[in-house]
Amino acid sequence: MSQPIVRTVSAVAGADAPAFRIRRARRGDAEAMALLLRELGYPQGTDQQTVHWVVSHPEIEIFVAGDPQDRPVGMISFSHRPQLRLRGRVATVDELVVTETWRRRGVGRALIKQILERCKVLSVKQLQLVSPMASTPETRSFYAACGFSEIDSGVFRHLETEEGRR
Protein backbone atom coordinates (compact mmCIF):
# COMPACT_ATOMS: atom_id res chain seq x y z
CA MET A 1 0.00 0.00 0.00
CA SER A 2 1.16 3.55 -0.61
CA GLN A 3 2.24 6.11 1.96
CA PRO A 4 -0.26 6.94 4.70
CA ILE A 5 -2.29 10.01 3.89
CA VAL A 6 -3.17 12.37 6.71
CA ARG A 7 -4.08 16.00 6.24
CA THR A 8 -5.36 18.46 8.85
CA VAL A 9 -7.93 20.89 7.49
CA SER A 10 -9.36 23.99 9.14
CA ALA A 11 -13.13 23.95 9.19
CA VAL A 12 -14.92 26.65 7.21
CA ALA A 13 -17.57 27.70 9.70
CA GLY A 14 -15.81 30.42 11.65
CA ALA A 15 -12.51 30.79 13.41
CA ASP A 16 -13.65 28.82 16.46
CA ALA A 17 -14.76 25.79 14.44
CA PRO A 18 -12.56 22.75 15.13
CA ALA A 19 -10.23 21.41 12.49
CA PHE A 20 -10.65 17.94 11.07
CA ARG A 21 -8.22 15.44 9.61
CA ILE A 22 -8.55 13.49 6.37
CA ARG A 23 -7.01 10.04 6.59
CA ARG A 24 -7.40 6.56 5.14
CA ALA A 25 -10.11 4.48 6.74
CA ARG A 26 -8.98 1.74 9.09
CA ARG A 27 -10.61 -1.53 10.04
CA GLY A 28 -11.43 -0.05 13.44
CA ASP A 29 -13.64 2.57 11.76
CA ALA A 30 -16.32 -0.01 10.92
CA GLU A 31 -18.83 1.06 13.58
CA ALA A 32 -18.48 4.77 12.76
CA MET A 33 -18.79 4.06 9.03
CA ALA A 34 -21.94 2.00 9.68
CA LEU A 35 -23.46 4.97 11.52
CA LEU A 36 -22.55 7.32 8.67
CA LEU A 37 -24.11 4.98 6.10
CA ARG A 38 -27.29 4.78 8.19
CA GLU A 39 -27.38 8.57 8.17
CA LEU A 40 -27.12 8.41 4.39
CA GLY A 41 -30.24 6.24 4.35
CA TYR A 42 -28.89 2.70 4.36
CA PRO A 43 -30.57 1.13 7.42
CA GLN A 44 -28.21 -1.84 7.61
CA GLY A 45 -25.13 0.40 7.51
CA THR A 46 -22.25 -2.04 7.11
CA ASP A 47 -20.55 -4.75 9.11
CA GLN A 48 -17.03 -5.47 10.29
CA GLN A 49 -16.46 -8.22 7.71
CA THR A 50 -17.47 -6.00 4.79
CA VAL A 51 -15.31 -3.12 6.07
CA HIS A 52 -12.29 -5.43 6.36
CA TRP A 53 -12.88 -6.71 2.83
CA VAL A 54 -13.35 -3.24 1.32
CA VAL A 55 -10.51 -1.55 3.24
CA SER A 56 -8.07 -4.20 2.01
CA HIS A 57 -9.35 -4.27 -1.59
CA PRO A 58 -6.69 -2.94 -4.01
CA GLU A 59 -9.15 -1.03 -6.21
CA ILE A 60 -11.26 0.59 -3.48
CA GLU A 61 -10.13 3.46 -1.28
CA ILE A 62 -11.96 4.96 1.66
CA PHE A 63 -11.04 8.19 3.38
CA VAL A 64 -12.57 9.53 6.56
CA ALA A 65 -12.66 12.99 8.06
CA GLY A 66 -11.91 12.73 11.75
CA ASP A 67 -12.88 15.28 14.38
CA PRO A 68 -10.24 16.56 16.85
CA GLN A 69 -10.56 13.24 18.75
CA ASP A 70 -10.15 11.36 15.41
CA ARG A 71 -13.76 10.10 15.42
CA PRO A 72 -15.02 9.80 11.81
CA VAL A 73 -17.52 12.57 10.99
CA GLY A 74 -17.47 12.01 7.24
CA MET A 75 -16.35 9.45 4.72
CA ILE A 76 -15.88 8.98 1.01
CA SER A 77 -15.23 5.75 -0.81
CA PHE A 78 -14.29 5.35 -4.41
CA SER A 79 -13.40 2.46 -6.64
CA HIS A 80 -11.07 2.58 -9.62
CA ARG A 81 -10.37 0.13 -12.37
CA PRO A 82 -8.93 -0.06 -15.88
CA GLN A 83 -11.33 0.54 -18.76
CA LEU A 84 -10.65 -0.36 -22.38
CA ARG A 85 -12.50 2.46 -24.13
CA LEU A 86 -10.76 5.14 -22.06
CA ARG A 87 -7.37 3.45 -22.40
CA GLY A 88 -6.88 4.14 -18.75
CA ARG A 89 -8.59 4.09 -15.40
CA VAL A 90 -12.13 5.12 -14.51
CA ALA A 91 -13.18 5.82 -10.92
CA THR A 92 -16.55 5.95 -9.23
CA VAL A 93 -17.49 7.74 -6.02
CA ASP A 94 -19.38 5.00 -4.21
CA GLU A 95 -20.35 6.80 -1.00
CA LEU A 96 -19.96 10.31 0.35
CA VAL A 97 -21.53 11.25 3.65
CA VAL A 98 -20.88 13.83 6.34
CA THR A 99 -22.68 13.63 9.65
CA GLU A 100 -25.32 16.33 10.03
CA THR A 101 -23.53 18.29 12.77
CA TRP A 102 -20.42 18.63 10.60
CA ARG A 103 -22.09 19.69 7.36
CA ARG A 104 -21.33 23.09 5.80
CA ARG A 105 -17.86 23.15 7.34
CA GLY A 106 -15.91 22.08 4.26
CA VAL A 107 -15.71 18.39 5.16
CA GLY A 108 -17.45 17.14 2.00
CA ARG A 109 -15.34 19.38 -0.23
CA ALA A 110 -12.15 18.24 1.50
CA LEU A 111 -13.12 14.59 0.97
CA ILE A 112 -13.83 15.24 -2.73
CA LYS A 113 -10.50 17.08 -3.00
CA GLN A 114 -8.75 14.06 -1.48
CA ILE A 115 -10.05 11.66 -4.09
CA LEU A 116 -9.35 14.13 -6.90
CA GLU A 117 -5.72 14.13 -5.76
CA ARG A 118 -5.73 10.32 -5.68
CA CYS A 119 -7.23 10.28 -9.18
CA LYS A 120 -4.26 12.32 -10.43
CA VAL A 121 -1.80 9.91 -8.82
CA LEU A 122 -3.66 6.93 -10.33
CA SER A 123 -3.96 8.61 -13.77
CA VAL A 124 -7.75 8.29 -13.70
CA LYS A 125 -9.29 9.66 -16.89
CA GLN A 126 -12.92 9.85 -15.74
CA LEU A 127 -14.54 10.19 -12.31
CA GLN A 128 -18.21 9.37 -12.06
CA LEU A 129 -20.72 9.53 -9.26
CA VAL A 130 -24.13 7.90 -9.03
CA SER A 131 -26.15 8.90 -6.00
CA PRO A 132 -29.83 8.65 -5.15
CA MET A 133 -29.25 11.70 -2.95
CA ALA A 134 -28.16 13.75 -6.00
CA SER A 135 -31.83 14.30 -6.80
CA THR A 136 -32.12 17.04 -4.18
CA PRO A 137 -31.34 20.59 -5.34
CA GLU A 138 -28.93 21.10 -2.44
CA THR A 139 -26.94 17.97 -3.29
CA ARG A 140 -26.89 18.71 -7.02
CA SER A 141 -25.63 22.20 -6.23
CA PHE A 142 -22.88 20.78 -4.00
CA TYR A 143 -21.66 18.37 -6.67
CA ALA A 144 -21.78 21.09 -9.35
CA ALA A 145 -19.69 23.36 -7.11
CA CYS A 146 -17.17 20.49 -6.85
CA GLY A 147 -16.89 20.35 -10.65
CA PHE A 148 -19.27 17.48 -11.47
CA SER A 149 -21.62 17.74 -14.47
CA GLU A 150 -25.02 16.12 -14.48
CA ILE A 151 -25.73 13.69 -17.32
CA ASP A 152 -28.73 11.49 -17.94
CA SER A 153 -27.56 8.39 -19.73
CA GLY A 154 -27.53 5.67 -17.10
CA VAL A 155 -29.23 2.32 -17.39
CA PHE A 156 -29.07 0.08 -14.34
CA ARG A 157 -30.16 -3.34 -13.23
CA HIS A 158 -30.15 -4.14 -9.55
CA LEU A 159 -29.02 -7.69 -8.86
CA GLU A 160 -29.98 -9.71 -5.82
CA THR A 161 -28.13 -12.60 -4.30
CA GLU A 162 -29.92 -15.86 -3.64
CA GLU A 163 -30.21 -14.83 0.02
CA GLY A 164 -31.76 -11.50 -0.98
CA ARG A 165 -34.59 -13.21 -2.85
CA ARG A 166 -35.84 -15.20 0.11
Number of domains in the chain: 1
- Give the pLDDT confidence score for residue 10 in this predicted structure: 53
What CATH number has the domain bearing residue 12? 3.40.630.30
Stated pTM of the model = 0.81
Give 42's pLDDT tier (boundaries 50, 70, 90).
Answer: confident
Q: Is residue 76 part of a domain?
A: yes
Boundaries of domain holding 47: 6-146
Torsion of CA 105, 28, 112, 83, to 10 degrees: -170
Q: Is residue 57 part of a domain?
A: yes
Give 6's pLDDT tier (boundaries 50, 70, 90).
Answer: low
pLDDT tens, position by position, 128-164: 987 766 678 888 889 889 998 887 666 666 676 655 5
